[in-house]
Every structure is written in structure tokens, then in C-alpha cells.
Structure 1
Amino acid sequence: MKRTLPDSRITPGHPDHDRLSAIAAEITARAGGPDRLAADFPAMLRGCIDDVIMTAKTGRRAYEELEKTEKTYIGTRVEIELRALLNLPRSTLDTAILGQDVDIKNTMGSNWMIPTEAVDHPCILVAADEARALCYLGLIVARPEYLTAGQNKDAKKSVSAEGFAHILWLLCAHPYPPNFWRTVDPAAVLRIFEGRSGNARMAALFREVQGRPIGRDVVQAVAQQHDFMRRIRSDKGRGTRDILAREGIALLSGQYDAPLISALGLAPCTGSEFIAHTPMTPQARARVWPDGPLS
């Protein structure tokens, strides 16, 4: 998305203010309030993108690696998932809100393509900025004067530079969960995935990325196996947990080791997250391995 956006002109007295404000209020209410919208919308968007990347099955780790048709399909997924999130019906356009047909447009770039059938209708505008881990949710009435003069071969037009000022933002440059692999040093990523077995890759993951919670989706992507959770357990000295313990690295579960994670002063983990840590003091090592370290 564009790094600099104009201030919204959707204020009292604007011809679209009442219409868009009512739709915005309905969306917020359907989401369970502004806090729930701010939490659930970014998570939904992250899931839509990751489910198409499919790291566990394809080995791909970034949006840029997708085929053109897959990038297009993300827009379809966003439409479906957003309707489900807000419990919205299907309609002549993508959905209907307060009796009005509404189109849902998604972009991973800096603009949206508005079809002719959506002109003069309200549109929900969704955007994800993967590089900056920011997301956007806005509303616009797709008036011709807010759209570009030029169009693509499908007669779709973009929102003009002037048109951006006529967007009512529900979320603007709002943080959303980053693509995990964008947050890891590229050299470390190569070391993680050069492992020839699930255990080797998993051990490399938690060796390279310590002190931060790692979710099951990343674990599955690295294991690349059906029973991916098996890779993370102790296994008669051969499991990931065993390998790391011999190196002095503790692999802790948010579900089973929450008190220990707290006692060690580590970042809180949810029940589906894991965190690796190298205890540096004798007291910390005794907390982690009360029976002594593995050899």
C-alpha cells in the first residue's frame, strides 16, 4: 500500500458520510466491536495469504513466489473469509449491508481494481502490505469521479489519487501478523531448510530462532510431515527436544510449560506456541533440567 495516504474527507457534510458511517458501524458491530475487529481482521488476512502460500506442502515462504492465478485467488479467499467473519450474506455484488449491494476488493499492492458493476456502489477495500506487515480496511462509494480515467482490458478502473481522500478507514496502516520468514535472517532460513530430515530441520529452527514464540503453522511448515507434532517431542533421545537439550537449549511448550516460561522471564506463549531458550545460569539450568542435562 502507498506509504503516504491523504487525510479522509469523509466527515459530516460529505455526501457519502452518512452512508459510509452507517455501513462502518454495522461492520464493527458484526465483528463484535472495534477491538475484536482490530484483532480478528488482521488474523483473518494473514490466514488467507498463508493458506495459499502453503509452505508445509510447497516449500514456498513468500507471496512473491506464488503463481499469478494464486495471487488472484487470495482476493477470492478474502471475500469468502470476510463474509464469514462478519456473517454477511451473498448478494448481487459480493455481499449486502443494510440493504445495499456492496463489493469487496482486495489488493496486495497499492490500489484496487473496481469493476463497472460496482460503480456508484459502496465497496469494502482490503489491503495487505507484506513488506511492512500492515493492513487496511476501508469503505468507499465508487463514484466515477473517484476513479481513474484509464481502465484495464476488463474495463476495471483504479481509485484515483483524489479518490483516496474519499475513503473512510476502519483500519489504516494497522499492524497484522508478519510473514514469519520475513522476520528471520535469510542465512538462518537456509540453514533451517537444508536439514534432510524433519528432526534436523526442526532442531535448526529452534536453534536459530530462540526467545520468541513460534506457532504450530511454522512447526508444520518446517517439519513437512503429516505427524509434524511428533518432531517436537522427546523420542528416546532422537527427538528435536532431545537433540536441543544436549546442546543446552530448552524447547518449551506454551501448553505444558507456561509456569517455567514465566519463571525464566520469556515471552508468553499461547497453548499452541513453542519457545526455545538457552539457560545461562546454574539456577536457570536447574529449573529446566532438575535431573541434570542430557548427555
Structure 2
Amino acid sequence: MKQKLPESLVVDGHPDFDRLRALADEITARAGGPLELERQFPAMLRDCIDAVIMTAKTGRRAYEDLEKTEKTYIGTRVEIELRALLRLRKGRLDTLILDQDVDIKHTMGTNWMIPTEALDHPCLLVAADEQRARCYLGLIVARPEYLTTGKNKDSKASISATGFGHILWLLKEQPYPANFWRDLAAEVVDEIFAGDTGNLRMATLFRRVQSHIIPRDVVEAVARQKDFMRRIRSDGGNGTRDVLARENIVVLEGRKDAQLIRALGLPACTGSEFISCKLLDPRQINLAAQAGHRVDTPT
């Protein structure tokens, strides 16, 4: 998305203000309030994109690795998931909100393509910026004067430079979860998924990616098993934690080990996130032991 967006002109007195404000309030209420919208919408986008990249199965690590048809499908998936998130019905266009037909448009770039059937209708604009891990959610009435005069072969027009000022933003520059695999070297990804068993892959993950938050869905993708949480437990000396303990590496859970994570100066994790680190000095080893984590004494 463009890094410099104009201030919204959609304020009291704007011809679209009452219409868009009512739609925005309905969307926010359906999400459970502004804080829930800020929490759920970015996570939904991350899931939609990662489900198409499928790093665990394909080895691909980024949106840029996708085929053209796959990139298009992300927009379809976002439309479906957004309707489900907000409990919206399908309409003549993509959805119905307050009995108005609303088109849902998604982009991973800097603009949206508006079809002729959406002219003069509200459009719910969704954007994901993978490079900066920022997302956007806005509303616009697709008036011809807000669109470019040039059209593509499907007679779709994009929002003009001045048209961007007529967007009412619900979320703007909102952080969303970065693609976990994007910044990992290809050889590290290959090494993680080269393991023949869930334990081997999991041990490599926490060995090679230390002091970095690892989301639960990444653990699930690496394990490739229904009971994926079992792969990070101790298991009679053969589990992931057992193997890594012999290398002085601890695997910590966001909620259970919150105090130890803080004491070790590691990034804060949520209850569904994990982090690992190698303990190199007696103080760290003692802290870990007090929290119930055993490691071998460094030699």
C-alpha cells in the first residue's frame, strides 16, 4: 500500500459521511468492538495469505513466490473469511450490510480494481502490505469521480489519487503478523522441513530460530501431525525438549513461562506463542531450573 495516504475527507458534511459512518459502525459492532476488530482482522488476513503460500508443503516463503491464479484466489478467500468474521450474508454484490449491497475488494498492492457493477455502491476495501506488515480496512462509495478514467480490459477502474481522500478508514497502517518464514534464509527453511519425523523438524526449528517468537500455527505446520503439541514436550529423553536440553536450549511457552521469558530478556509472547534460547551462564541456568526447565551444564 502507498506509504503516504491523504487525510480522509469523509467527515461530517461530506456527501458520503452518513452512509459510510453507519456502515463502519455496523462492521465494528459485528466484530465485537474496535479492539476486537484490530485483533481479529489482521489475524484473518495472515491466515488467508499463509494458507495459500503453504510453506510447509511447498517450501515457498513469500507472497511473491505464488502463481498468478493463487494471488487472485487470496482475494476470494479474504472475501469469504471476512463475511464469516462479520457474520454477513451474500448479496447481489459480495455482501449485504444494513441492507445495502457492498463489494469487497482486496489488494496486496497499492490500489483496488473497481468493477462497473459496483459503481455508486459502497466498497469495503482491504489491503495487506507484506513488506511492512501493515494492513488496511476502509470504505468508499465507488463514485465515477473518485475513480481513474483509464480502465483495464475488464472495464475495471482504480481509485484515483484524489479518490483516496474519499476513503473512510476503519483500520489504517494497522500492524499485522509478519510472515514468519519470509526473512528466514532458504537453507534454514529447507533444513527445518528436511527432518523425517515431527520431533526432528521441531528440534531443528527451535535450534535454528532462537530468541524469535514462533506462533502456534508455525509449530503445527512444522509438526505435520494432529497432536502437534506433543512434539514440543519432554518424552522420556527423546522429546524435542529433551534433545534440546542436552544442547542447553530451552523451549518456552508464552503464558506458562512469562516470568522466565521476561527474566531472560526475551520478546514477550502471547499464550499461543513459543520462543527458545540457549542458556550460557549459571544465572540463566538457575533461573530456568527454578521455573522447571532442565538443561545440561555447559562445558
Q: TM-score, normalised by structure 2?
A: 0.88
1:281 aligns with 2:284: no
Worse-superposed segment, 103-112 or 270-279: 270-279
Percent same amino acid at aligned positions? Answer: 67
- Structure 1 match to 2:144: 144
- Aligned-pair distance for 1:104? 0.5
Structure 1 position 241 matched with structure 2 position 213: no
Is the partner of 2:270 in helix, strand or coil? coil
What whole-Å deviation, never above 9, does each CA across 1:199-252 have from its counterpart, x for those lacking one? 343222212222233122112333345554343233343332122111111112
Q: For residue 182 of structure 2, give the secondary structure of its aligned residue in structure 1.
A: helix
More displaced stretch, 247-256 vs 27-36 = 247-256
Q: Find the counterpart in structure 2 of residue 9 from structure 1.
A: 9
**How many residues are aligned here?**
295
Query: Residue 181 of structure 2 aligns to a residue in which SS?
Result: helix
Partner of 1:220: 220
Larger mean Cα displacement after TM superposition, 70-79 or 177-186: 177-186
Correspondence list, 1:1-295, <5 A: 1-184=1-184, 188-189=188-189, 191-193=191-193, 195=195, 197-225=197-225, 227-254=227-254, 256-258=256-258, 260-261=260-261, 264-289=264-289, 293-294=295-296
CA contact (8 A) 1:56 1:223 kept: no
Q: Shift of the alpha carbon at 1:112?
A: 0.7
The 3-state SS of whatever aligns with 1:56 is: helix
**Greater CA drift, 216-225 or 250-259:** 250-259
CA 1:261 to 1:3, structure 2 compared with 1: closer, same or farther past 3 Å? closer
After superposing the two structures, state which structure 1 stretch, 205-214 or 172-181, moved more: 205-214
Query: Contact conserved, 2:252 with 2:261, CA < 8 A, in 1?
Result: yes
Of 157-166 and 185-194, deviating more is: 185-194
Unmatched 5+ stretches in structure 1: none
In structure 1, what is the Cα distance between the partners aligned to 2:87 and 2:266? Answer: 38
Matched-pair contact (CA < 8 Å) for 1:242–1:294? no
Range with greater deviation from structure 2 (182-191 or 232-241)? 182-191
Cα distance in 1 for residues equivalent to 2:260 and 2:3? 42
Contact 2:250 2:295 in 1 (8 A): no
TM-score normalised over the length of structure 1: 0.90
Structure 1 Cα separation of the partners of residues 267 and 132 of structure 2: 22
| Worse overlay, 200-209 or 172-181 | 200-209
3-state DSSP of counterpart to 2:111: coil
Contact 1:59 1:221 (8 Å CA) reproduced: no
Cα deviation, residue 83, structure 1: 1.2
Report if aligned partners of 2:93, 2:103 keep a CA contact under 8 Å in 1. yes
